[in-house]
């Protein structure tokens, strides 16, 4: 096993990476790889960004960690900037260490306010490694299977005339926990009218809307947050991964409506690194870099390039489908019994110097590059990917 326990289900494919800058990884022999996964969806503004390194050094030298009885101004300042992104003036934030924590904190806050026993979410959502949101037990959760909704022929809004819609026990739902795009790594985007209808109905019944933006937030989808592709206004938003650019910080933001209803009653969750100034300072700087460098617009522009090129590749039989929103892209490869095409392309991309994501045991490859990726690197990947698809058709026809 060795001294380090690796991620379950994921194979360690590379030797030791010695250094990284922006989207370039360098191994001990100096070979360069292009990181198209942002680590684990995390390095939103690239590895070793000089402004992030500067803030880390400056804040760590001043005050990195606080206790339960004292804080520092940077935490409040970071919270104010994050709340402004959501229009949550008068709301409040807490800083944590992981996306799992941020989602769980939001769920606990909503449970504290809910008079109904069930929370609703999509059956293919993933919310973290522990807590109520991860277990999704049937006594606390209703899982909605929307697998046929993306091809629904009905032109009107979702309502009780639909047999699938009728299965949702809205009278017992206290909150809707919405994940706007990850679908456990498969990158699927629920239809707008479905999400708008669910959110509207839950709200009409006095329920809350919680949004998990751990993978879709901080510019990933070509907007600041994934929920902005829908006509919804959240009450609680969980953020992680990209907001720390590789540093373990996450945030749960509560609207003013939620904080007023809590009425200073504490959410039953506390840990040693909650509201640490170092994480807060980094999160604030990530937001400022994205603002200053206009990276939301840039990610949308690069997404257009990716989409156009992948559409052209759809003519090749091996590329079954792709799904893209901003710099969040999944590509489904045609596998056949005894011919693991996806695994072969995944490894050949690595041989050519491109690190892409693959959900273990599936035919889906995923790219989620930093918003700062060079256009030249994206074009290099597209050229290589196209050549590998062509080789599969020629060599294994």
The CATH number given to whatever domain includes residue 323 is 3.90.1150.10
Same domain, 318 and 388: yes
Same domain, 183 and 303: no
Same domain, 189 and 230: yes
Does any domain span residue 29? yes
Same domain, 121 and 22: no
User: Structural domain of residue 26, as residue ranges?
Assistant: 17-49+294-395
Q: Which of 14-18, 177-181, 223-227, 337-341 has the lowest mean pLDDT?
A: 337-341
Q: Which residues of 35-61 are buried (b: 16+ CB within 10 A; e: fewer)?
A: bbbbbebbbbbbbebeebeebbeebee
Same domain, 41 and 114: no
| DSSP 3-state of 7 | coil
Q: Which of 87-96, 125-134, 200-209, 282-291 has the lowest mean pLDDT?
A: 125-134
Same domain, 332 and 245: no
Q: Which residues of 64-73 are buried (b: 16+ CB within 10 A; e: fewer)?
A: eebeeeeebe
Q: What's the Rg (C-alpha) of the chain?
A: 22
Answer yes or no: are the C-beta atoms of 238 and 99 closer than 8 Å. Answer: yes
* Measured distance CA(56)–CA(275) in Å, rounded: 15
Residue 386 makes CB contacts below 8 A (sequence gap 6+) with: 309, 313, 316
* Measured distance CA(274)–CA(270) in Å, rounded: 7
- First-to-last alpha carbon distance for the chain, in angstroms, is 39
Q: In which residue are the tokens 């969806």 written? A: 41
Same domain, 246 and 113: yes
Same domain, 221 and 361: no
User: How many domains are there within the chain?
Assistant: 2
Domain boundary among 258, 293, 328: 293
Does any domain span residue 6? no
Residue 349: pLDDT over 80: yes
Does any domain span residue 3? no
Q: What CATH number is given to the structural domain containing 256?
A: 3.40.640.10
Q: What is the pLDDT of residue 171?
A: 93
Same domain, 238 and 312: no
Which candidate, 128, 371, 97, places its Cα nearest to that of 247? 97
* Measured distance CA(254)–CA(133) in Å, rounded: 17
* Measured distance CA(329)–CA(307) in Å, rounded: 9
Same domain, 314 and 282: no
Q: Which residues pair with 121 in a beta bridge?
A: 143
| 0.85 surpassed by pTM | yes
Angle at which helix 295-313 crosses helix 277-292, to 10 degrees, equals: 70
| pLDDT per residue as tens digits for the range 186-230 | 888 999 999 999 999 999 999 999 999 999 999 999 999 999 999
* Measured distance CA(133)–CA(136) in Å, rounded: 5
Domain boundary among 269, 293, 317: 293
Q: What is the pLDDT of residue 393?
A: 76
Does any domain span residue 10? no
Does any domain span residue 4? no
Same domain, 270 and 182: yes
Same domain, 99 and 78: yes
Residue 339 pLDDT level (bands cut at 50, 70, 90): low
Does any domain span residue 5? no
Looking from the CA of 345 toward its CB, the CA atoms found within 13 Å total: 33
Answer yes or no: are the C-beta atoms of 53 and 59 closer than 8 Å. Answer: no
Does any domain span residue 41? yes
Does any domain span residue 11? no
Domain boundary among 230, 260, 293: 293
Residue 280: pLDDT over 70: yes
């Amino acid at each position: 096993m060795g001294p380090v326990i690796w991620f379950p289900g994921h194979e360690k494919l590379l030797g030791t990476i010695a250094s990284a800058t922006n989207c370039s990884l360098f191994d001990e022999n100096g070979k360069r790889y292009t990181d198209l996964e942002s680590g684990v969806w995390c390095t939103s503004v690239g590895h070793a960004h000089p402004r992030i390194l500067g803030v880390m050094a400056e804040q760590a030298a001043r005050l990195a960690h606080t206790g339960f009885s004292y804080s520092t101004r940077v935490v409040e300042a970071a919270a104010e900037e994050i709340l402004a992104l959501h229009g949550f003036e008068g709301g409040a934030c807490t800083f944590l260490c992981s996306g799992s924590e941020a989602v769980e904190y939001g769920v606990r806050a909503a449970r504290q306010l809910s008079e109904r026993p069930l929370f609703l979410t999509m059956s293919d959502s993933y919310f973290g490694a522990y807590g109520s949101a991860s277990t999704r037990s049937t006594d606390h959760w209703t899982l909605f299977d929307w697998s046929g909704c993306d091809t629904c022929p009905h032109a009107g809004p979702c309502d009780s005339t639909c047999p699938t819609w009728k299965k949702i026990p809205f009278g017992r739902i206290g909150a809707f926990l919405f994940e706007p795009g990850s679908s456990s790594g498969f990158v699927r985007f629920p239809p707008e009218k479905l999400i708008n209808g669910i959110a509207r109905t839950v709200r009409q019944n006095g329920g809350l809307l919680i949004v998990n933006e751990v993978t879709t937030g901080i510019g990933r989808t070509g907007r600041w947050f994934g929920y902005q592709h829908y006509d919804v206004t959240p009450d609680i938003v969980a953020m992680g991964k990209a907001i720390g650019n590789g540093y373990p910080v996450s945030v749960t933001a509560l609207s003013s409506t939620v904080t007023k209803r809590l009425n200073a009653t504490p959410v039953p969750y506390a840990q040693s690194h909650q509201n640490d100034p170092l994480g807060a300072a980094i999160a604030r700087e990530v937001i400022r870099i994205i603002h200053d460098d206009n990276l939301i617009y840039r990610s949308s522009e690069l997404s257009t390039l990716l989409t156009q090129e992948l559409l052209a590749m759809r003519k090749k039989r091996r590329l079954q489908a792709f799904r893209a929103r901003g710099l969040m892209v999944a590509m489904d490869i045609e596998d056949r019994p005894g011919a693991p095409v996806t695994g072969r392309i995944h490894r050949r991309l690595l041989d050519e110097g491109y690190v892409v994501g693959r959900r273990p045991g599936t035919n889906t490859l995923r790219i989620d590059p930093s918003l700062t990726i060079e256009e030249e690197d994206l074009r290099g990947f597209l050229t290589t990917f196209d050549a590998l698809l062509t080789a599969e058709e020629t060599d294994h026809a």
